[in-house]
Chains A and B, each alone.
Chain A
Amino acid sequence: MSDAKQINLVIDGTEVSVDPGTTLLQACEIAGREIPRFCYHDRLSIAGNCRMCLVEVEKMPKPVASCALPVADGMVVHTKTPSVHKARKGVMEFLLINHPLDCPICDQGGECDLQDQAVAYGTDGSRFAENKRAVEDKYIGPLIKTVMTRCIHCTRCVRFSCEVAGTPELGATGRGEDMEITTYLEHAMTSELSGNVIDLCPVGALTSKPYAFTARSWELEHTQSVDVMDALGSAIRVDTRGQEVMRILPRTFDAINEEWISDKSRFIWDGLKNQRLDKCYLRGKDNRLHPCGWEQAFEHIEANTRSVPPEKRAALVGDLACAESIAALGDLMRSMGTPNFDCREPHSPLGRNAKGERVSRGSYLFNSSIAGIDDADAILLIGADVRREAALLDARLRKNWRRNGTTIGVIASKASIPPRDYESVRLGEGASALQQLVNSTGKDAQRFRSLLDAAQRPMLILGQGALNRPDGAKIYDLALALAQQTGMLGTEWNGFNVLHTNAAQVAGLDLDFLPQQGGLDSAGIRKGITNGSIEWLYLLGVDAHLPQQNKNAFVIYQGSHGDAGAAFANVVLPAAAYTEKSATFINTEGRVQSAKRALFPPGDAREDWTILRKLSDVLGCRLPYDDAFALQQSMILQAPHFAERDRLAPLSDAEKPEPVHAEVSPQDDPFVSTVNDFHLSNVIARASAVMAQCSQLANKK
C-alpha cells in the first residue's frame, strides 16, 4: 500500500500511520497499546457486543468500541485516561453481574480472559444484590462441555461455526438477558473443527469435555510438536503432566493451521494411552502373540531372516512414521539388497513414472502452499475429500470463497464426497470430466475451463481419491496436462497441488522409499504376501490395506499400537508414538518440521530409528549412524531440503512437476473419498474412546 493512502492518527500521543480499513483496535495494537476485548477476534467477523474495548476519541461525545470503528485521518485517541478506565470498569461490572464466582471449580481458571481482565478492570465487590441469572447447560456433543451460566454472549463460537467451520450449527436464541447459546434442539455439533470453540471461548462456558477436571493449566508442561493426524502438519502444543499427555492445543502458525486444529488432532490423546504396545511379542505355535524381551525378539528375527533371499524380502511404511524411521528402514533395505519397498498406498502413481524412474519433487507436493489457497482465483478439486482428509484446508477454501467469491469446481463422486457450501459447480464424478476439461469439450467443462484460463492464479488440488486407483497414473497425467494448459505452472505461481492424507507420505517420497530397479510396489508386495512370492515383510506402522491372508511370509510389525498390523505379524516390536520422540515430519507442502518429545514411550517401547539401527546390527548390515544427529545428517545428504526446517524453500526448475507418462487408460468409476471414517482413520484414533464416541455419533445420522 502506498504511503499516500495511509491514514495518520495519534494514539496516546504517538503518531501512527496505518492502512485504510484498519479498525481502531488494530491501530492501537500497532501503536503498542493493549486493548482488552472479549468478542473481537482477528479471524472472525466483528460483532462489537462486549464493549470491553472502549477508548476515547477526541471530538466524540462518548467512549467508542474500538473494535468496530474504522480509523479516520486525524483521529486523536486516548486509551489510558481515567475516563476510559472508568468506562471499561463499568463494562466489566456489568459482565460480572451475571457471571458466577466459580473460578475455583472452572476448567478455564488460570487461562481465562475474563479472569485476567477482571484483575485489571474489576472491582473488589459487587453492587448487585439481586439474583444472578442461571442458564440451563446445553448438550452440544461429546467433545464440548457447556456451563452456560458462565457465558458472556460474545458470540465468538457462533461466528466461528458459521464463518470458519462452515457448519452453521451454533446460534443465540432468545434475547437480552435471556439470550442463550445452543445448537438446534441441542444436537451434537457435526463440524470437524468444533473443538476450536473451546479455545475461542473467553470464559469457561465452553470447555473440553474429555479434559474436564483432569488438570490445571499451570501444572502442565508445554511441548511444541507437529500433528500427524493428516498430512497438513498442523502446529500443536502437547501439554503433559509427568508422563501423561493431558491435552493437545493448537499453536498459531499462519502458514498452515492459522490457530485452529481439527477435532481429531485435539482430542486424540486418550488414544495414546490405550492399546499401546509396551513389550515385544512373538507369535507362538498356538498362533497367539506372547510377550518377550528385545533380545529374544531380535534372535527370533535373525533366525527367520537368514534363510530368506533378499529379493523375497519387502518393507512397507504406514501413515504415522517419522522421516528418521523411514530413512533408517530405507537404508536397511538397501544394504540388504532388497528392491521391494514402498511407502505409498496401493496403486499410487506418485514418485515414480511409468518407466519406474524417480520423478521430480514438485510432482507430489502441494506446490502453491496451504497459505497460497488464499490467493487463488479459480480452484478445481479433483477427488479430494477436503473436509475429511484435511479439515483445515476446507476452512482455508471457505475463507477464500467468503472473501473473494472464488469459483471452486469439484470432480468427485457426489455420494462419497457431498457438496460443501463453497462448491460452485460439480463438473462430474470421474476421469471423463477431467478429460473434458483438458479437451475443453462439454458445456460446463468449457465454461469452467475458460475461467481457469482467465485466472491469474488458478489452482487444482488432486486428492488421493483420484490417485490411489489402478488408473491413478493416467489421472495424474491428465491433471498435470490441465495445469500446464491453464497456466498453473508459472514462474511465480505453481497451482498444481497434490493433497496427501498420510503424514508420512512426503517424507517417504523425498527419501525415495520406493520400489528400486525390478522391485515390487505397494500393491505388488501385498499380492506377494498372498501368493507366497514375498517371504519376509517389515511393516513400519502399517495397519491399512493389509492382505486378507499370509501364505508363508515372516512378518515383523514395528509400531505403537496393537491394531491390524500387530495382529498380522509374527514379531511385534513396540515403538514410540509421535508425542514420544523427537522426530521430523514433512507435510503435504514439503515443509520439514520437527516434533519434540513430550514424554517417554511406555514400557519397552523405543524410538523407531533406534529399533531399526539395532536390527541392522542383528542382521549383519549395521547402519552407519549412532545417534539422531548422524541420522539426520545422512538424511540431509540424501535430500538437502531436510536442512531447512519450518520454512518452505521455493522449488528449483528441475523440481517442477513432471508427467509420469502413464500407459493405462482412464476408467470411468467416480472418484471416492479415501477416508471411510474421519474419527477412526489411524491407529491412535482407533484406540481413542473419545474418537469412538464421535464416530458412533457421526455414523448414526
Chain B
Amino acid sequence: MSVRRLAAEQPDGFQFNPENRKWADAQLKKYPAGREQSAVLPLLWRAQEQCDGWLPEPAIRHVAEFLNMPYIRVYEVATFYTMFNLEPVGKYLVQVCKTTPCWLRGSDELERVCFEEIGSPESISSDGNFTWRQVECLGACVNAPIVQINADFHEDLNSQSFRALLSKLRAGETVTAGSHVGRHASEPVEIEKSANANEKSANEEQETLQFKKPE
C-alpha cells in the first residue's frame, strides 16, 4: 500500500450512461429511505466499469450527488479500497497474487513475466493493453498460483502458460478463464496428463510432492 492520489489528468465530467443509470436507480430501491448511501460501493464499481476500469474524480462527485452524500465521504471510500483505480489502467488489469500459497507455487515466476512482458507495475504497457500489480490473497489458493485479469481468475499458471496467455490477450484472441492445467475445479491434478501438456509444470508438481513426502 502506498498513498493513493487522484490522477493528475481528469475528464471534464461524468454521467452514468442510460443503462447504468437505470441499474443505479434499481440499486437504490434495495435500501430503506434515508439509507441510500449503502449503495456507494456498487455504484462506484459500476462507475469504474463505465470508465474503462478507473475512477475519475467527476465520477466520485457524480456518485456522491446521486446518493446525496458529502463528496468527502465518497472520496474516503474510493481511496480506502484498492479495488478502485484512481489512475487510468490498461485494457487488461493483471493482478498477481503474491500471498504465501501462490508464492510457494511460483508466483515469483509470474511476476518476472510481468516485468518482462508488461513493464513496471502500476503503469500502462506501451501498447495500452496491460497494467499489472501485485495483490494480496485472491482467495483461490487451491489452484495457486493465481492471476486475476479484469474479472476473471486464471489458475494453475506457470511462466510459460502465463506468457502464452498474455500474448493471446495482446493479439485480441479469446481466452478461457479458470485452470490452465485442465482442472475442472480443485480436484487432484493428473500428473501424467499435465506432464505431457507441460513438462516443467510436472517437474514442479513432483518437487512439491517430494517435498511433502517426509511427513
Task: List A residues at the B interface (Cβ < 8 Å).
Answer: 168-178, 180, 182-185
Interface residues of B in 67-118 (CB under 8 A from A): 70-73, 75-76, 79-80
CB-based nearest B residue for A133: B3
Q: CA A177 – CA B71 in complex, angstroms?
A: 23
A183's contact among B1, B57, B72, by CB below 8 Å, is which? B72
Nearest 4 CB-CB pairings of A with B: A171-B72, A168-B70, A173-B79, A184-B71
Contact A174 B4, beta carbon cutoff 8 Å: yes
Closest to B81 in A: A175
Tell me how many residue pairs across A and B have CB atoms closer than 8 Å: 40
Does A178 contact B72, Cβ atoms closer than 8 Å? Answer: no
Q: Which residues of B from 1 to 35 have beta carbons under 8 Å from A?
A: 1-4, 6
Please list 22 pairs of residues, one from A and one from B, whose beta carbons are closer than 8 Å in the complex, sorted by A's number. A168-B72, A168-B73, A169-B70, A170-B72, A171-B72, A171-B73, A171-B76, A172-B76, A173-B79, A173-B80, A174-B4, A175-B79, A177-B1, A178-B1, A178-B3, A178-B4, A183-B72, A184-B71, A184-B72, A184-B75, A185-B57, A185-B71
Q: Are B4 and A171 in contact (CB under 8 A)?
A: no
Q: How far is the CA of A173 from the CA of B57 in the complex (A)?
A: 14
* Besides A168-B70, A175-B80, 16 new A-B residue pairs in contact (Cβ under 8 A), listed by A number: A168-B72, A169-B72, A170-B72, A171-B70, A173-B75, A173-B76, A174-B4, A176-B1, A178-B1, A178-B2, A178-B4, A180-B3, A182-B72, A183-B72, A184-B71, A185-B71
Residues from chain A with Cβ under 8 Å of B72 in the complex: 168-171, 182-184
Tell me the bound Cα distance from A183 to B72 in angstroms: 7
Contact with A along B48-70 (1 / 0, CB 8 A): 00000000010000000000001
A404 CB to nearest B CB, Å: 16
Candidate in B1, B73, B79 with the most chain A CB atoms within 10 angstroms: B79
For B73, list chain A residues within 8 Å (CB): 168, 171
Q: How far is the CA of A434 from the CA of B3 in the complex (A)?
A: 54
- Interface size range of chain B in the complex: 10 to 19
Q: Please, which residues of chain B bring their CB within 8 A of the CB of A169?
A: 70, 72
A168 cross-chain contacts in B, Cβ below 8 A: 70, 72-73
Decide: A174 and B57 in contact? CB cutoff 8 A: no
Bound-complex Cα distance A184 to B76 (A) = 9
How far, in Å, is A98 (CB) from chain B's closest CB? 13
Q: How far is the CB of B183 from chain A (nearest CB, A)?
A: 36
Taking the closest CB of chain A, its distance from the CB of B3, in whole angstroms, is 5
Residues of the B chain whose Cβ atoms lie less than 8 Å from the Cβ of A182: 72
A172 and B75 CA atoms in complex are apart in Å by: 9
* Bound-complex Cα distance A185 to B57 (A): 10
Residues in A whose Cβ lies below 8 Å from that of B79: 173-175
Residue of B nearest to A180 (CB): B3
Nearest-Cβ distance from residue A552 to partner chain B, whole angstroms = 57
**For residue A185, which residues in chain B have a CB less than 8 angstroms away from its CB?**
6, 57, 71
Q: Which secondary structure dominates where chain B touches chain A?
A: helix
Q: Please, which residue of chain B has its CB at the minimum distance from the CB of A171? A: B72
CB distance from B5 to the nearest CB of A (A): 9
Chain A residues lying within 8 Å of B76, measured Cβ to Cβ, are 171-173
A263-B3 Cα distance, complex, nearest whole Å: 32
- Distance of B147 from chain A, by nearest CB (Å): 25
Residue of A171, A172, A177 most packed against chain B (CB within 10 A):
A171
Closest beta carbon of chain B to A571's beta carbon, Å: 53
Provide the residues of chain B in CB contact with A176, threshold 8 Å.
1
Chain A residues near B57 (CB, 8 Å)? 185
Report the separation of the CA atoms of residues A170 and B71 in the bound assembly, to the nearest whole angstrom: 10
Q: How far, in whole Å, are A558 and B40 apart by their CA atoms in the complex?
A: 59
Using CB atoms, name the residue of chain B closest to A182.
Answer: B72
Please report the C-alpha to C-alpha distance between residue A200 and residue B59 in the assembled complex, in whole angstroms: 33
Residues of B within 8 A of A173 (CB): 4, 75-76, 79-80
- Looking at A169, A175, A177, the one whose CB has the most chain B CB atoms below 10 A away is A175
Measured between beta carbons, the chain B residues less than 8 angstroms from A177 are 1
B42 to chain A: closest CB distance in Å?
A: 20
How far apart sit A183 and B2, CA to CA, in the bound complex (Å)?
Answer: 19
Task: Give CA–CA (A496, B6) in the complex, Å.
Answer: 51
CB contacts (< 8 Å) of A170 on chain B: these are 72
The one of A171, A172, A175, A184 in contact with B1, judged by C-beta atoms closer than 8 angstroms, is A175
Q: Closest Cβ of chain B: how far from A158's Cβ, in Å? A: 9
Q: Which residues of B contact A178 (CB under 8 A)?
A: 1-4
Contacts of A184 in B (CB 8 A): 70-72, 75
> Looking across the interface, which residue of chain A has its beta carbon closest to that of B71?
A184
CA distance A183 to B57 in the complex (A): 14
B191 CB, nearest partner CB in chain A, Å: 42
- Cα A173 to Cα B3 with chains together (Å): 9
B80 & A174 in contact (Cβ 8 Å cutoff): yes
Complex formed: what's the CA distance from A174 to B4 in Å?
A: 7
The docked-state distance in angstroms from the alpha carbon of A170 to that of B73 is 9
What's the minimum C-beta distance from B125 to chain A, rounded to whole angstroms?
A: 26
A174 neighbours in B (Cβ, 8 Å): 3-4, 79-80
Residues of B within 8 A of A175 (CB): 1, 79-80
Chain B hits for A171, CB < 8 A: 70, 72-73, 75-76
Chain B nearest CB from A163 CB (Å) reads 13
The minimal Cβ–Cβ distance linking B73 to chain A, given in whole angstroms, is 6
The chain A residue with its CB closest to the CB of B3 is A178
User: Please, which residue of chain B has its CB at the minimum distance from the CB of A169?
Assistant: B72
A185 to B79, CA, bound (A): 12
**CA–CA, A182 to B72, complex, Å?**
9
Q: Which of B1, B4, B71, B72 has the most CB of A within 10 A?
A: B72
Give chain B nearest CB distance to A134 CB in angstroms. Answer: 10
Assembly CA distance A408 to B71 (angstroms): 25
Q: State A175–B3 Cα separation when bound (angstroms).
A: 9
Task: Mark contacts of B36-49 with chain A using CB atoms, 8 A cut-off: 1 yes-contact digit, 0 otherwise.
Answer: 00000000000000
Q: How far, in whole Å, are A170 and B3 apart by their CA atoms in the complex?
A: 18
B1 surroundings in chain A (CB, below 8 A):
175-178
- Inter-chain CA distance A174–B80, complex, in Å, is 5
Name the CB-closest residue of B to A177: B1
B74 to chain A, nearest CB (A): 9
Closest chain-A Cβ to B55's Cβ sits at a distance in Å of 13
State in angstroms the CA–CA spacing of A251 and B132 once bound together.
55
In the assembled complex, the Cα of A168 lies from the Cα of B1 at a distance in Å of 27
Closest B residue, CB atoms, query A168: B70
Q: How far is the CB of B44 from chain A (nearest CB, A)?
A: 14
Using CB atoms, name the residue of chain A closest to B74. A184
Tell me the bound Cα distance from A180 to B70 in angstroms: 17
A628 CB, min distance to chain B CBs, angstroms: 50
Q: Give every chain A residue within 8 A of B80 (Cβ-Cβ).
A: 173-175
- Once bound together, how far apart are the Cα atoms of A182 and B79, in whole Å? 12
With A and B bound together, what is the CA distance between A169 and B75 in angstroms? 11
Kindly provide the distance from the CB of B97 to the nearest chain A CB, expressed in whole angstroms.
20
Residue on B with the closest CB to A136? B3
Name the residue on B nearest A176 (C-beta). Answer: B1
Complex Cα–Cα for A171 and B57 (A): 16
Q: How far is the CB of A49 from chain B (nearest CB, A)?
A: 15
Instruction: Point out the residues of chain A lying under 8 angstroms from B4, CB to CB.
Output: 173-174, 178
